[in-house]
Structure 1
């Protein structure tokens, strides 16, 4: 038996299938990430290809069957296509990187309503230019790392348990985590993280306001998060979208 599901979703990606259909990856409000086939979407008279454009926020009806890898879409309506994102190359690059993270770091059919709301919120911030696209991407990356169970502990020294000062340099390795500057002087095997980069990561984790940041600091922060995920999820191959739009 198939269950009829009506839900909001974000289109994470799509690919052509047969002569007239699409296979789409959706992140849905109540069913998490799903893969589905949209039959006839590419036929000349169908509007579904436009509705299922990557990045779109839609409402979709599909037939769900647990034993089936590809669910079957019945119909869909467009809620938002984020025109401001799609008209700006920098916003497009980082918004697509957000979709790539969700596509690669979430499990099929695992519901996470908080993640769905967070995804819509960050896309809205991209659309309305709340912050620089690179910072918005970093905020979502930190949020997703926490939501997927790999939270970065950044408030206290992993050795002496002292509160870490966001205006100070610290030490770090992927086994122990962050340590204070004092412990860094007396322990080996740690990389020094300069104060600008640590403050950026600290503010991301604690949802603090960020301004007057150097481009290099933001790029270094995103690289740190990417490397962190690589260390904890061996199957993660990095973020392709950021290089595709160069």
Structure 2
């Protein structure tokens, strides 16, 4: 079956001498793998469009019994050079794409994740400056989209605040052995990220160790609530960006 659909490129790997296999999140068939034959050849009509993070209009032959579909045409719906030139944007982009890829099963259509990524990628590409705190904000937003959102049960912000992994809450009380004490900035950040979609959350200024620690806490949250959740391969790039911003 020939399929025409909008797709977001999550991952790309070289295949044999001249081809690529890309993993995409498509509107029509969800997360699938596509082989782009000859895409690494300089004169290939596919060469310029299938970069990671691009949003494309794709044409491919789809057969449900095949694990990899054959990409025949691709045109760019959105791409940003800043993802190749700005290490901060690239680090956040790759981390978010890896996160999103783990939230959707193969061949699963997820309109909410697709819509979020479609909007986020274009926003990120067009922004002049980005804050490292953007990634934990996305972690919080994606948890909500996937039905495992955090809840704010803090009664007194002046007292100790904990991230309770099992119940998915931030509160003044520990409710299980798997809980993390948050510092003031981390608690304020999570409260703001849970309750608002405004950029004032980045004014809290999480950096360095406290930012890295919060990301790790949220990773533990994902691992607890999503089977098979893995470490991100892009983390070294993201951590290098955090060092630059300290």
Partner residue in 1 for 2:205? 213
Q: Provide Cα deviations, 1:51-110, integer angstroms capped at 9, x if missing partner.
A: 111111111011111111111112111122211232111110111111111222311111
TM-score normalised by the chain length of structure 1: 0.84
Quote the offset at 1:24 in angstroms. Answer: 0.8
Residue segments in structure 2 that go unaligned for 5+ positions in a row: 241-246
After superposition, the CA RMSD in angstroms is 2.4
1:24 aligns with 2:25: no
1:215: how far off?
A: 1.0
Q: TM-score, normalised by structure 2?
A: 0.84
Higher mean C-alpha displacement, 190-199 vs 31-40: 190-199
2:166 aligned partner = 175
Q: Distance in 2 between matches of 1:34 and 1:140?
A: 23
In terms of mean alpha carbon deviation, does 20-29 or 143-152 score higher? 143-152
Distance 1:37 1:106 in 2: 20
Which whole-Å CA distance do the structure 2 matches of 1:5 and 1:166 have between them? 52
Which deviates further from its counterpart, 114-123 or 209-218?
A: 209-218
User: What residue number does 1:155 align with?
Assistant: 152
| CA distance 1:96–1:58, change in 2 (3 Å) | same
In the alignment, the residues of structure 1 paired with residue 105 and residue 176 of structure 2 have an alpha-carbon distance, to the nearest angstrom, of: 37
Aligned match for 1:238, one of 205, 228, 231:
231
Does the residue aligned with 1:58 lie in a helix, a strand or coil? Answer: strand
Superposed CA offset, 1:130-159 (max 9, x none): 76342322222222222233222x223xxx
Change (3 A) 1:43 1:8: same
Aligned length: 234
Match of 1:80 in 2: 78
CA distance in 2, matches of 1:166, 1:109: 43
Partners of 2:58 and 2:74 within 8 A in 1: yes
- 1:130 and 1:140, CA in 2 relative to 1: closer, same or farther beyond 3 A? farther
| Structure 1 residue runs without a partner (length 5+) | 157-162
The question of whether the paired residues in 1 share the 8 Å contact of 2:189 and 2:204 is answered with: no
C-alpha distance in structure 2 between counterparts of 1:201 and 1:34, whole Å: 33
Change (3 A) 1:84 1:214: same
* Deviation for aligned residue 1:200: 0.6
Q: Residues of 1 paired with 2:36 and 2:176: CA distance?
A: 56
Counterpart contact for 2:133–2:207, Cα < 8 Å: no
Task: Give the secondary structure class of the aligned counterpart of 1:155.
Answer: strand
Structure 2 residue 31 is the aligned partner of structure 1 residue 38: no
